[in-house]
Structure 1
Amino acid sequence: MASGQFGEEAMMEEEQLNDLQEQPPEEVGQEPISLLLKRRREAKGLSLQATAAATRVPLRYLRHIEGDGPPDLLSDELYLVPFLRTYATFLDLDPSSAVAEFVIAVRRRENAAPLPGPAPRRALSRRLVLLLLLLLAGVGLLVFFWISGQQG
């Protein structure tokens, strides 16, 4: 029965996420989730350090969730979802809505980022090509003389 409950909960979150994605950004919320979390924490008079201690969410993750962390902290920002859920609950916010808005923001950033193109091919310089050809010819001559020396 517990697995059915989680399945229904996941379906509800997916439906909520789809509903939010169809709305323009300004209708999703009054402000970005990162700013909302930061303002709510500050309104409660809590420092990031105190919040990290109370929630057991690493300080660097809280900074990143609030939009102040280094952009290359994680290879996948969705790793932060469990921490975001804990943080939103701690701040008396709906964790499902916070996660949905966070996922949408991450997807928008990913879609806005240019896709990496193929790596530029470096053209071999003429000198390098000539050097390689001479080296190959030299090795060929050595092999030729070595083989003819063994036969005679």
Structure 2
Amino acid sequence: MQFTPQHYFVLKLFSALGCGLVAGVFFAFSTFVMNALARLQPKEGMTAMQSINITAINPLFMGIFVGTAVTCIFIAGASLLNWYPSKSAYLLIGSLFYLVGAFGVTILFNVPLNEALAIADPDSANGASLWANYLANWTVWNHVRTISAILASAAITIALYE
């Protein structure tokens, strides 16, 4: 199968939509989900977030989250191989925002926090302390992911029209 301009357009479109969809999920957590969990008693908030973290690992969400990273790798590479000044710059910048700021931050910061939360005992004093730290740190990194995914979606969308 030969890689055609139509295939490339579909990859760019999927990337823009994927970045936007992921940004929406992250935005929801940044603007109200984490605030709602913080209003609960530590045991209840931890238990709810532990459940969210388990159910988030599903084929549909992970397919979009990881699939967008894969398409961003392809369009970043293609933009470097076929450089067109403004279009390629938007594609490369958008891809990097997603790969580093959304996907990379998730792997380096949010996932380790989730793993620590997963083994914490919600009934313990240590669990309550971990929860308070988790809320602050996880949310800060989620803001980074949100902004990065929004900027990625915007840059790749602009490249569709250049």
TM-score normalised by the chain length of structure 1: 0.27
TM-score normalised by the chain length of structure 2: 0.26
Higher helix share: 2
> Which protein shows a greater Rg?
1
Q: Using CA pairs below 8 Å that are at least 6 residues apart, which structure has the higher relative contact order? A: 2
